[in-house]
Structure 1
Amino acid sequence: MIKAIIFDFDGTIIDTETAWYVAFRDAYKEHGVELTLEKYSECLGTSLHSFNPYTYLSTDCNIDLDLDAFRAAMQARHAELMMQEQVRPGILNYLEKAKAAGLKIGLASSSHREWVDRFVAQLGIADYFECYRTADNVKHVKPDPELYTQSLECLGVEAGEAIAIEDSPNGAKAAVAAGIYTLVIPNTITKQLPFGTGHTMIESLEGHDFDEMLAGLSTPSSS
């Protein structure tokens, strides 16, 4: 029986990822460097250890940059682009349905808590979540499953009693590795990336009936 649902944040609840890519892609172009989606995807849904878009022009392209000024410019551009973003389609309905069904609701993000809190408050959805697990809580972020295993422990449920909602390959890997049924709703950027296996992918939560999904996962044949 399903007892909990755990949401990723960036790219899943609100599409922060497309705005970041556009901001960095345009800035790189000004310096004569093409930032491919393949390269940028190395930091999607995970840490900046594999690819740090703030420092790459300096460390790998040998371009003389004021890194503090560049970081500030990117953050300002991202904030500007985010003014156009809203909660992704179907998310609020799923939050409402989960709450009405008595499910425990968690949030598992590779971002830091300060970042998550900022947008959760802005969107007015903080009251839905009873458990937050972010980069501040773990040694390893996604695709490591630690964020999800900690979320399960926090919510007091087993992996087979939970659903994860994700948008990126790294996030899906993490949830699947934790043994959680994973529903992937890729966004504008992540739908262009290669995904692994073990999850269910749909275009949007809109039109994907929550009650039917819950009923299907709660039957003995789906366990």
Structure 2
Amino acid sequence: MKAVIFDFDGLLLDTETPWYYVFKEAYSAYGLELPLSLWAGNVGTNFEEFHPYKYLEQQVGEPIDLKRLQSDLEHNYELRMKNAQLLPGVDEALQQARQRGMRLAIASSSTRDWVFKYLQYFELLPLFDAVVTSDDVKCVKPDPELYKLAMHQLGVSPNETLAFEDSPNGLKAANAAGIRCIIVPNEVTRELDFPPYERRLASLLEFDFEQLSLEDELMDLA
């Protein structure tokens, strides 16, 4: 392994769970439920499969001031994220990979401004050799374009690359790009159905890059 590509939302920082609860509260104010199975359609991708604003308006059956609703939701979201911390094991995983000379990238379906805002806040940006976002591609996950571009920028091939994802859409993208993928589901994604994956972890604390190096050596000897 020469490179590691990380998803961002829900893997390095759990931005997804707060969004789900913020929208769930908004639906509840209209006497409606927001099933996790429905919300899962946009986790790790965009609103093409499930658009929570449009769906709410359809269920209410009359026009909603979507601009005001969006403003209120963003305010509530920022309150929930006020004391957010990196997920367990993130710092350790990034440092371990760097110490082993691996090249690092982020492949995110979110916008560049969104990802950079948090990377800069947590002082993670210098650790990454490439950051690829929705602004850089035509198709986001589950399409493999983000991963292919990240590998191109890192100068590596799929068999030299390991991916970490938290969502089925992200895993599908990594699989389609031919990359081994380890999943680390969060509160919102842990009960979802995942396609085939390399390994499943409760958190990045469970992963040891030294063990990965030993596995590679054994594969070379086989």
Return the TM-score normalized by structure 1.
0.95
Runs of 4+ in structure 1 displaced over 3 angstroms?
none
**Is the Cα–Cα contact under 8 Å of residues 216 and 222 in structure 1 kept in the other structure?**
no
Identical residues among aligned pairs (%): 38
Separation in 2 of the partners of 1:61 and 1:124?
Answer: 42
Match of 1:183 in 2: 182
| Cα distance in 1 between the residues matched to 2:73 and 2:143 | 27
Write the letter of the residue equivalent to 1:13.
L
> What are the Cα deviations for residues 114-161 of structure 1, in whole angstroms up to 9, with x where unaligned?
100111111111111110111011111001111001111110000000
RMSD: 1.5
Where do 1:108-127 residues align within 5 Å?
A: 108-127=107-126
Equivalent residues of 1:172, 1:199 under 8 A apart: no
Counterpart residue type for residue 84 of structure 2: E
| Cα offset, 1:176, TM superposition | 1.3
- Shift of the 218–80 alpha-carbon distance from structure 1 to 2, 3 Å rule, reads farther
**Residues 106, 132 of structure 1: 8 Å contact kept:** yes
Q: Is the 8 A contact 2:30 2:60 kept in 1?
A: no
**Aligned residues, how many?**
222
* 1:8 equivalent in structure 2: 7
- Structure 2 distance, partners of 1:197, 1:23, is 31
Instruction: Give structure 1 stretches of 5+ with no counterpart.
Output: none
For structure 2, which runs of at least 5 residues remain unmatched after alignment?
none
How far is 1:221 from its partner?
5.6
Alignment TM-score, normalising by the size of structure 2: 0.95
Deviation at 1:32, TM superposition (A): 1.1
After TM superposition, the structure 1 = structure 2 runs for residues 22-37 of structure 1, keeping only pairs within 5 Å, are: 22-37=21-36
User: What SS does structure 1 have at the residue aligned with 2:141?
Assistant: coil
Note if contact 1:97-1:210 (Cα within 8 Å) is conserved in structure 2. yes
